[in-house]
Amino acid sequence: MSASLLELTVRDEVPGDVVGSAVAATVAGLGMRPERATRIRVVIEELVTEARQREAFPNAPDTIQVTVRVDADVVAISVIDHRIPVSSAAVRDLPSRRIAALGFIDRLVIASHGRDGNTAECRIKFDQMTHPHETGELQLPADIDHATDEAADQLLLRTMTTHDVDGFIRLVYRCYGYSYPDSVMYVPKAIHHLLTSQTMRSVVAVTPTGEVVAHAALTTGTGQSRVPEAGRLVVDPRYRGHHLAERVTDLRQQVAVDVGFAGLWAECVTNHPASQRNVSRLGGVEMGLLIGAGPADVVMSSLSNDNQGRRTLLPMYSVVTQSPARTIHLPFEYVNTTSMLAGRLGLERTCVSNLLPGQGRSRMLVEVNPDVGTAHLRFDRIGSDASQRVATELGELVAFELGTVHVDVPLADPAAAWLINALERQGFCWATWVPEAEEAGDVLRLQRVGEHLVDVEHVQCATVHGEFMRDWVVAQWHRVNRPG
């Protein structure tokens, strides 16, 4: 989790509009449009009012904590109080929820976290904060002339700087037009922040005149700083066929080694196997299948784009530094597959299948990406209410008509196997295993596929093992969703 940009300790005598003004000024400095800054100010002032209306405990802090931070491509604003705990029923009727539902912010979660108090967290994506890049280029046609070997040999490979941001955005336009699934990659201020905060560590290939023609990145999202996503690989169609993808990913791998990451995580496209082969070349292992995790309208210049619905991605993992032996908690049905994957990666894991229920209250973070059609629920702590918390969130997410919902379950928690079994009854199945995703160890990502048409028929795999994992996950998906 990133450091706070703003931290306020607010006493009751401080007017709410003072707090709202401070928050609005902070997010405006990040590039939020004035009308959006005004709307978030309205939400924050209402949250402060609601917190003050709750009865205080005699010896508990009577102040309210307000923080603003940036998590990857999201601005998160938290309002925390230590007064009478809020209930799920009461939360649904709060005015702040109705204001948020009008589109003032992208996501609002209000919950009681025991001794940690009541927390209301607002989340706003960076792409909602700035206008799209205005100097884009047209997507290149499939029959574009390719660069010569001499031109490819003259390319300089190096780490990306903020001076390359405009060139990178033009590269995205040349390859994808407006169809790149991560809309943040069209927003200069967002990319600038990702680079300066080192939330994204990028490498590029540039021509002698400074034109960016290839890019690859390591991105550390919320809760996954030990295992960044190795992605955002974009190669100018004119320079394909010169092993440029391999060259930039080799440099990216060296960056990962230098930083000391535990491993790398990649979501490979399945309309062609080239990216999978590139990850396999560096020790990557196919870990599952993300069914319908990508939007159907992504179009890649000069590559096959056959699909029959939302796109399916192939998750892969590669070890960067040696990790300790760990005990993980899994249902019996998943033990053999996990042990096999651990062997392929050279990781020492002891699997325990005791179905111990969670205790106390859960801690869970919710992220929604309406542009891509996905939601991500991450458990920090598995409590006795974990399954019900997920069910409640699913009910609130119905309006988004999502393609898929992912849940990350920390496998170091003794209640992990119990929760996984409970979530299977809600239609969740294996999506992927992510070793060393957290300080405490591994995460199992589960998936619940929505009602949209999804494409698993055109999934191309680079290896026999990839085909096995594809077929196994599809079988698990059918198993948890079979009638009766």
Answer yes or no: is pLDDT of 26 > 50: yes
What pLDDT does 188 receive?
85
List Cβ neighbours of 145 (8 Å cut-off, separation of 6 or more).
238
Highest mean pLDDT among 98-107, 252-261, 448-457: 252-261
The 3-state DSSP composition of the chain as helix, strand, coil percent (nearest 5) reads 35, 30, 35
Mind spelling out the 3-state secondary structure of 180-211? CCCHHHHCHHHHHHHHHCCCEEEEEEECCCCC
Residues 225 and 107 in one domain: no
Answer yes or no: is pLDDT of 197 > 80: yes
Answer yes or no: is pLDDT of 459 > 50: yes
> Of 261, 292, 317, which residue sits at a domain end?
261
Give the total number of structural domains in the chain: 3
Residues 338 and 314 in one domain: yes
Burial of 191 (0-12, 13-18, 19+ CB in 10 A): buried
Residues 23 and 94 in one domain: yes
Rg (Cα) of the chain, in Å, rounded? 23
Residues 250 and 279 in one domain: no
**Alpha carbons 85 and 328: distance in angstroms, whole number:** 33
Residues 55 and 79 in one domain: yes
pLDDT digits (tens, 9 = 90+) for 210-248: 999 999 999 986 545 789 999 899 999 899 889 999 999
Copy the structure tokens of residue 480.
């948890």
Residue 368, beta-bridge partner list: 375
pLDDT digits (tens, 9 = 90+) for 293-335: 887 755 544 445 455 678 899 999 999 998 899 999 999 999 9
The domain that holds 254 is classified in CATH as 3.40.630.30
Residues 271 and 368 in one domain: yes
What pLDDT does 307 receive?
55
For tokens 């955002």, name the residue. Answer: 232
Residues 225 and 250 in one domain: yes
What pLDDT does 308 receive?
65
> Of 91, 106, 130, which residue sits at a domain end?
130
What pLDDT does 217 receive?
95
Burial of 479 (0-12, 13-18, 19+ CB in 10 A): exposed
Mean of the per-residue pLDDT values for the chain? Answer: 87
Residues 479 and 353 in one domain: yes
What pLDDT does 302 receive?
44
What pLDDT does 301 receive?
44
Residues 396 and 303 in one domain: yes
The domain that holds 4 is classified in CATH as 3.30.565.10
Q: Angle, to 10 degrees, between the axis of helix 416-424 and the axis of helix 386-397?
A: 40
Rounded to the nearest angstrom, the gap between the alpha carbon of residue 221 and the centroid of all alpha carbons in its chain is: 6
What pLDDT does 275 receive?
86
Answer yes or no: is pLDDT of 143 > 70: no
Q: Which domain holds residue 59?
A: 1-130
Residues 383 and 475 in one domain: yes
Average pLDDT, stretch 42-49? 94
Average pLDDT, stretch 383-394? 92
If residue 377 lies in a helix (H) or strand (E), which one and from where to where?
strand 374-381
What pLDDT does 298 receive?
52
Let me know how many helices (H) and strands (E) the chain has, helices first.
13, 20
Query: Parallel, antiparallel, or unpaired: how do β-strands 404-410 and 374-381 relate?
Result: parallel
Q: Name which residue leads in pLDDT, 134 or 185.
A: 185
Query: Which residue, among 318, 415, 399, 309, has the nearest Cα to 362 in the 3D structure?
Result: 415
Average pLDDT, stretch 72-93? 82
**Alpha carbons 169 and 188: distance in angstroms, whole number:** 8
Residues 69 and 192 in one domain: no
Residues 257 and 302 in one domain: no
Residue 350, beta-bridge partner list: 327
> Of 261, 280, 311, which residue sits at a domain end?
261
pLDDT digits (tens, 9 = 90+) for 285-295: 999 999 998 87
**Alpha carbons 15 and 33: distance in angstroms, whole number:** 24
**Alpha carbons 129 and 282: distance in angstroms, whole number:** 37
3-state secondary structure of 265: strand
**Alpha carbons 79 and 85: distance in angstroms, whole number:** 14
DSSP 7-30: EEEE-TTS-HHHHHHHHHHHHHHT
Residue 205, beta-bridge partner list: 157, 214
List Cβ neighbours of 35 (8 Å cut-off, separation of 6 or more).
none
